[in-house]
Structure formats: structure tokens, C-alpha cells
């Protein structure tokens, strides 16, 4: 019997993102199971309240998975949709589009090359890209980011 490895999977997505040219830091669930390629001898940290810098990548925890039964005795496939953010530090949509465009092929290439996420999943793919802005808050800068949805299928025996 095995439990889902979703926390490790989320952290591993940040490690994959760290390999993209231009990413300055990576953040995720902070489970402590995945080394941070940008900080030797340290693990992926939990995402904080606000991004520390431009080109910081965050892998977020997903909502509940879709469950598909594989066998009658408890083997299931869990399909997770992992939200990932690349902070681009502008609230101007024209500038956000300009900054985001070069990242599309970088994300696609990185997650095609490591589509099994180090053997943690049986399948993964980029499901969506979106440009988003946070809500205005008095006396605080607004942030823009490239939102990437990574679908992953994990096989688990319960």
C-alpha cells in the first residue's frame, strides 16, 4: 500500500523549473524531499506570502485529483492539475505579455524533457498558460505572473 507522493511531485516540478535559463529561485510545498538545483545542499523551500524577486517560480499545491480506478483492489490513477507561477513583477498587461512570451517554450521544453518527473508520475503535460495579476492592495505593488497548469497522472495502490 502506498500513499500519494503529491508533495514530492510538486517540489520536483520546481526543480525542473530551476533548470530553465533565467529562473532565479524556486519555491513549492517545502516537503524536504527534493534538492534545490539553485541552492546546493538545500531542499526546495515552501512558497512564502510574496515573491522575493522577478523570475521566481512557485509550484502550488493542487486541488483534489480526478480518480480513475485501474483495478478492483485499490490501484488508482490520480490526475492532478498543479498550478505553477512565474512572477514577472509588473502590473502592466502589455509588459506582462512581452515578458511572458519567451517563457512559453522554456516551460514546454523543460516539462517535455522530464515528462515523468523523475519517475514520480506515469504521464504529464502542460495543460494551460494564463497571464494573471493579483488584486490591488493599498500601499503595495501589484504583481503579474505567468500561470502554467501542469497535469500529472500518478498511479497509487491503496
How many domains in the chain?
1
Q: Which residue segment(s) compose the domain that 152 sits in? A: 6-157
* Model pLDDT, residue 86: 97
Chunk the chain into consecutive blocks of 10 residues (it has 158) and report each block's average pLDDT, rounded to whole numbers.
89 98 95 95 90 93 96 95 95 93 98 97 97 79 90 96
Within-domain flag for 150: yes
| CATH at residue 108 | 3.30.70
Residue 1: what pLDDT?
54
pTM beyond 0.85, yes or no: yes
Is the residue at 32 inside a domain? yes
What is the model's pLDDT at position 52?
85
Task: Decide if 75 is inside a domain.
Answer: yes
pLDDT on residue 139:
74
User: Does 114 fall in a domain?
Assistant: yes
At 105 the pLDDT is 98
DSSP letters for 96-118: HHHHHTTHHHHHHHHHHHTTTGG
CA distances from 108 to 21, 67, 150 (A): 13, 25, 10
Asked if the structure places residue 27 within a domain, the reply is: yes
**Is 34 within the bounds of a domain?**
yes
Residue 1 covered by a domain = no
- Here the cell at position 4 is 500519494
* CB-count burial class (<10 Å; 0-12, 13-18, 19+) for 149: middle
Amino acid at each position: 500500500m502506498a500513499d500519494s507522493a503529491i508533495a514530492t511531485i510538486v517540489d520536483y516540478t520546481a526543480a525542473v523549473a530551476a533548470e530553465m535559463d533565467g529562473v532565479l529561485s524556486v519555491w513549492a510545498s517545502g516537503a524536504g524531499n527534493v534538492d534545490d538545483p539553485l541552492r546546493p545542499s538545500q531542499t526546495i523551500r515552501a512558497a512564502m506570502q510574496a515573491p522575493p524577486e522577478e523570475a521566481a517560480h512557485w509550484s502550488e499545491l493542487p486541488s483534489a485529483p480526478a480518480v480513475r480506478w485501474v483495478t478492483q483492489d485499490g490501484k488508482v490513477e490520480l490526475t492532478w492539475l498543479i498550478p505553477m507561477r512565474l512572477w514577472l513583477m509588473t502590473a502592466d498587461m502589455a509588459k506582462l505579455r512581452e515578458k511572458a512570451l519567451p517563457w512559453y517554450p522554456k516551460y514546454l521544453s523543460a516539462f517535455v524533457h522530464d515528462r515523468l518527473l523523475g519517475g514520480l508520475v506515469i504521464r504529464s503535460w502542460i495543460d494551460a498558460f494564463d497571464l494573471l495579476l493579483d488584486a490591488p492592495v493599498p500601499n503595495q505593488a501589484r504583481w503579474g505572473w505567468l500561470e502554467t497548469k501542469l497535469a500529472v497522472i500518478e498511479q497509487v495502490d491503496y
